[in-house]
Amino acid sequence: MFRWIGKQIFIGQIYNWAKERLSGLLLTIILLILVLYIHSQYLNFIEFKAKNEGSYIGLSFIIKNTLILGIVFGYIYFYRIIGKTKESIKETKETIIKENKTDGKEKVSSLEQFLEDDELDK
């Protein structure tokens, strides 16, 4: 029973630590897998090119890997833009909340404060 509770607390602590870093960790893992994949594809391309000198099929390796890189870099680019937008929205919300928490000095209790004295006598 105590081991199970200790294990749950330990897993919870790891989760809380990794929660903030999850996007960075996933990005790092994706980039490492991509490097290993491109390296293996390059080796396959060199081997294929050596066997088939006059063939244009090797061009498909280049096109495929270029498209994969474009998709990954596009994802990273838009991920960062979305992150900046979320931060901007958060800052705007905080500014609005701060402006709404005035102490009543700026609020007008009656529109008569805007009228001139001669207009009030009418």
Domain residue limits, the chain? 2-98
Tell me the average pLDDT across 15-43: 81
Asked if residues 18 and 25 have their Cβ atoms less than 8 Å apart, the reply is yes
Asked if residues 45 and 58 have their Cβ atoms less than 8 Å apart, the reply is yes
- The answer to whether the predicted template modeling score (pTM) of the entire model surpasses 0.85 is no
Q: What pLDDT does residue 27 have?
A: 79
Q: What pLDDT does residue 66 have?
A: 84
pLDDT tens column, 51-60 = 877 767 667 7
Residue 71 dihedral angles phi and psi, to the nearest 5°:
-65, -45
Q: Does residue 1 register a pLDDT over 80?
A: no
pLDDT tens column, 61-82 = 778 878 888 887 888 888 888 8
Q: What pLDDT does residue 23 have?
A: 75
**pLDDT-based confidence at 103, cuts 50/70/90?**
low
Question: What gap in Å lies between CA 22 and CA 16, rounded to an integer?
Answer: 10
Question: What gap in Å lies between CA 47 and CA 54, rounded to an integer?
Answer: 14
Q: What pLDDT does residue 120 have?
A: 58
Chain mean pLDDT for the chain: 78
Q: Does residue 42 register a pLDDT over 70?
A: yes
Question: What gap in Å lies between CA 33 and CA 75, rounded to an integer?
Answer: 15
